[in-house]
């Protein structure tokens, strides 16, 4: 899906770094680096203050001598496999999620993170305000995870996850934790979070003495991973983007079969 960027707040002044981000040119942190390096001009004058007020759509902004215009907003989703990292560039030379995208797509940033060992649904977009609404704790956008653990989950464990555990001075808790299926030595549980702190699920289960075997994000808000194949990427539909803009959640959606072949396919 594409939408025109830079339309909102054209008369309102915003900081220069935020303006570049709002226009879909780059992330706010990348914009700050470019500004401080003297690579950005506003109406012909080099500006090194990231808070320099500008009017998007009125003031002429240039980066490295080239004019910056509002980009078309684009929204993609990928099914991230284990073993790749959620970053544009990796100092260790590891494969990143951007290898899953076709060539020629505009700059996009990841909406939230999945660590190297985790799998599943990840959004990428150049609409930074849309992304911020999804990741902000006050937005209460739920994220659903399928987690295979090296133990048979019982009510005591599930209740403890919902009540919360302390780790590193933080109370970490799940909005909901339910048993999906259990074997003799391991089980699948479904964990829902409203705010995702760094490695939150792994940290919670570690504090409970439980090993995580697999961790798959299967839904964000009302948007499910569904049948999107491992390593695959696709453009999000207008309905999916709008659903998240409206803050709708996924209560009532049918449970996914996390152990089906289509969701456990290995990379070739």
Catalytic site positions: 115
The token pair at 249 is 């959640």
Residue 14 phi/psi, 5-degree rounding, is -130, 165
Beta strand ranges found along 113-211 (DSSP E): 119-125, 143-149, 165-167, 170-172, 176-182, 187-193
Contacts of 95 (CB under 8 A, 6+ apart): 83, 84, 85
Contacts of 268 (CB under 8 A, 6+ apart): none
Residue with tokens 């996914």: 256
**208 by DSSP, 3-state: which?**
coil
Beta pairing partners, 41: 46, 62
Q: Is residue 114 within 8 Å of residue 217, measured between CB atoms?
A: yes
What is the phi-psi region of residue 25: left when phi exceeds 0, alpha when psi lies from -120 to 50, beta otherwise?
alpha
């Amino acid at each position: 899906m594409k939408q025109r960027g830079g339309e909102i707040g054209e008369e309102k002044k915003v900081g220069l770094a935020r303006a570049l981000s709002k226009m879909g040119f780059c992330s706010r942190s990348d914009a700050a680096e470019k500004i401080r390096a003297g690579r950005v001009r506003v109406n012909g004058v080099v500006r090194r203050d990231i808070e320099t007020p500008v009017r998007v759509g009125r003031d002429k902004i240039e980066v490295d001598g080239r004019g910056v215009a509002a980009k078309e907003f684009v929204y993609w989703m990928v099914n991230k496999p284990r073993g790749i990292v959620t970053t544009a560039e990796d100092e260790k030379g590891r494969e990143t999620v951007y290898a899953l995208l076709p060539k020629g797509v505009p700059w996009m940033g990841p909406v939230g993170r999945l660590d190297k060992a985790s799998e599943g649904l990840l959004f990428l977009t150049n609409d930074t305000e849309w992304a911020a609404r999804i990741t902000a704790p006050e937005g209460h956008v739920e994220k659903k995870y399928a987690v295979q653990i090296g133990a048979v989950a019982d009510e005591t464990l599930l209740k403890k996850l919902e009540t919360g555990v302390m780790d590193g001075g933080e109370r970490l808790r799940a909005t909901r934790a339910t048993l999906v299926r259990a074997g003799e030595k391991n089980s699948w549980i479904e964990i829902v979070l409203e705010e995702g702190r760094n490695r939150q699920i792994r940290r919670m289960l570690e504090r409970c003495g439980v090993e995580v075997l697999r961790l798959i994000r299967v839904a964000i808000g009302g948007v499910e991973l569904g049948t999107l194949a491992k390593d695959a990427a696709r453009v999000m539909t207008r309905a999916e983007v709008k659903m998240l803009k409206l803050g709708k959640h996924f209560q009532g959606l049918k449970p996914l079969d996390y152990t089906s072949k289509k969701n456990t396919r290995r990379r070739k």
